[in-house]
Amino acid sequence: MSQKQTLSFQAEVAQLLHLVTHSLYSNKEIFLRELISNASDACDKLRFEALNNTGLYEDAPNLEVRVDFDKQARTLTIADNGIGLSQQEAIDHLGTIAKSGTREFMNRLSGDQKADAQLIGQFGVGFYSGFIVADRIVVESRRAGLKPEEGVRWTSTGAGDFEVESITRAERGTSVTLHLREDAADYLSTWKLKSIIGKYSDHISLPILMRKEEWKEGEDNKGGEMVLTAEWETVNQASALWSRPRKDITAEQYQEFYKQVSHDQEPPLAWSHNRVEGSTEYIQLLYIPSHAPFDLWNREKAAGVKLYVKRVFIMDEAEALLPAYLRFVKGVIDSSDLPLNVSRELLQESRDVKAIREGSTKRVLGMLEEMAKAEKAEDASQEDKGKYAKFYAEFGAVLKEGLGEDFANRDRLAGLLRFASTSSDTASVALADYKARMKEGQEAIYYITADTLAAAKNSPQLEVFRKKGIEVLLMTDRVDEWALNYLHEFDGTPLQSVARGAVDLGKLQDEAEKKAAEEAAETFKPVLQKLKETLKDKAQDVRVTTRLVDSPACLVVTDSGMSMQLARLLKQSGQKVPEVKPVLEVNASHTLVRKLEASEHFDDLAHILFDQALLAEGGMPEDPAAYVRRVNALLA
């Protein structure tokens, strides 16, 4: 037996333990759910590794979780015969917060106990919840396949360090023994533990065993008490929740299972449970979360639902079963057709997987459409009416990725999109709603993209639309510019950027306006030519416009050109971008523009006019110092 090693927790663990021991969870009993969940995961991992090495089962092929307590010692033990830990794994996994998320975890801690509690499961640190009720935790384990003398004991009081030593352990797997605080003695009760297991862990597909109790008479038949026997009994249903009929599952059980698979303490917005039969047979239980995970925008992180084959756990994040734009969906898919040794590579090529992916995508979109319908349904509850807005605020931007990734469902996705507009500051306007209130004679759905809502609302390019009472959609998500390249029309009506091409309001512009614009352009020809020459290095063209009312100038791009907004976004992400030369459009009736012709500072005014239009559009002058010098000279 080796000597004990005393090691320090990672700094972040010490802070986490402080939060935990000060009742981070609003409901202390959740510690038992977290530890049983970990035990179940360990058994799943053994089952998966044993697909290629049946020897890992040793002489105990039946996987199980055991919960036991000792009133005299005031201990509670959760044991499993799953994959187990080696000594190094105990040091790595029990002394460090989930490696990939350590920094994000600490950045997200706010000091709000309720909010911080919701982060624990997401970062794989549920083990530490044991310190809510225990002042000392002892973990004994041996990894499957290692020799009995290669077992490990890990001990900590949660005060900043932990001890590790080698032990001899005949059985594989892990036992977590909690030395309970005095105020946690009520967890030394069969009734109490059974009720918690029934509430949170009934859906675990492994048997959870506890020792039976029986009544023992006191001496001379005076009094008596319930005592534990040597006989064990299963205290959960021990069948996969998704394999049960829907009618036998309560809403509370569905929600508790969601918390198990997602490590999210908030209930989901919606779920769908179906058995799909046909050429490909599988069960799907899919959930829409109520809030975005911390790493939603990390497309490199594996994401996806859990994959089972004939109830055997295969992998945690089977990203091939849903498209990337639905990476927020949680749940389980259990296939009857895939091979038990299916790999991630095989998943990419399987026809059965393609059928599961298509069917699951349609199911998720169907759930979203039902939520969206409830917004306007007279008989829907206030809670249901607000669900889609809540979903869209969290996941609307990632849903837009589907426009470029999922051609088959593009029309359905377009119907689910919501935007702010010149009629609404919130992202609540559906394309169908916009189309229903288009003005008579309006031939396009107009939109503008910008970095912020304020920049979009105040853009000079909206002036003629505002004057004529034409609604314009305001798009401010970074993904909008990219996504709109794949959505050219909705229900037969084209989408038109107000910052692209010459403005043409068709029937909404009367003949007198058109005639006045043509006359202004003719009269203004000499100034236009001079502007073109002065700004030839900056502007592709200079022309008179009818889109401006109060502003002197604005910038637009040609119908086929890359927008300036998209060019900026690509530059910010480090990509090479071809030079974008915009068109400068000037308002011939504006005082500043009319002064150009007679001004002795024509060149300076021309550059100021261009740079101000660039600033109004959200860009920055190429030479800010030169812009400031020109403005100062004119002011002086």
Q: What is the mean pLDDT of the chain?
A: 85
* Full strand arrangement of the beta sheet holding 473-475: 424-430, 418-421, 473-475, 445-449, 493-497, 489-490
Confidence of residue 101 (pLDDT cuts 50, 70, 90): very low
Beta strands in 113-207 (DSSP E): 134-142, 151-156, 161-167, 173-180
- What pLDDT score was predicted for residue 572? 66
CB distance 313 to 48 below 8 Å: yes
Q: Which carries the bigger pLDDT value, residue 368 or residue 309?
A: 368
pLDDT at 573: 64
pLDDT at 335 over 80: yes
Please list, in sequence order, all residues whose beta carbon lies within 8 angstroms of the beta carbon of residue 426, skipping any fewer than 6 positions away.
Answer: 389, 420
* Vertex 606 angle, CA 603 and 612, to 5°: 140
For 105, what's the count of Cα atoms within 13 Å in the CB-facing half-sphere? 22
Instruction: Band the pLDDT of 110: cuts 50, 70, 90.
Output: low
| DSSP annotation of 588 | T
Which class is 242-374 in CATH?
Answer: alpha beta
What pLDDT does 65 receive? 97
pLDDT of res. 596: 84
Q: Tell me what pLDDT residue 473 has.
A: 95
Spans of all domains in the chain:
5-236, 242-374, 417-635
Specify which of 174-183, 295-304, 531-540, 568-577 reaches the highest per-range mean pLDDT.
Answer: 174-183
- Sign, CA dihedral 616-622-625-630, equals negative
Most confident of 58-72, 148-162, 462-476: 58-72
**Mean pLDDT comparison of 160-164, 262-266, 385-389, highest-scoring range:** 385-389
Q: Is 387's pLDDT higher than 70?
A: yes
Say yes or no to pLDDT of 461 above 90. Answer: no
**More confident call, 615 vs 178:** 178
pTM of the model: 0.72
- Please check the confidence at residue 108 and state whether its pLDDT lies above 70: no
What's the rounded Cα separation, in Å, for the pair 265 and 250? 18
Q: Tell me what percent of the residues of the chain surpass a pLDDT of 90.
A: 39
Contacts of residues 525-533 at CB distance under 8 Å and 24 or more positions apart, as own/partner, are: 526/597, 527/593, 527/596, 527/597, 528/586, 530/596, 530/602, 530/606, 531/584, 531/586, 531/596, 531/606
Structure tokens at 15: 């802070």
Domain 417-635: which CATH number of 3.40.50.11260, 3.40.50.720, 3.40.50.1260, 3.20.20.70? 3.40.50.11260
Helices (H), 324-381: 344-349, 351-374
The pLDDT value given to residue 98: 43
Lowest mean pLDDT of 154-168, 297-311, 314-328, name the range: 297-311
Percentage of residues of the chain with pLDDT beyond 70: 85
pLDDT at 540: 87
Nearest to residue 481, comparing CAs of 454, 504, 447, 430? 447
Nearest Cα to Cα of residue 372 among 427, 328, 422, 329 = 427
Give me the mean pLDDT over the 478-502 stretch: 88
The confidence band for 616, taking pLDDT boundaries of 50, 70 and 90, is: confident
Q: Which residue has the tokens 């030519």?
A: 529
Sequence letter at residue 382: Q
Q: Is the pLDDT of residue 287 over 50?
A: yes
CATH topology for the 5-236 domain: Heat Shock Protein 90 (3.30.565)
Q: For residue range 187-197, list pLDDT tens digits in order.
A: 999 999 999 99
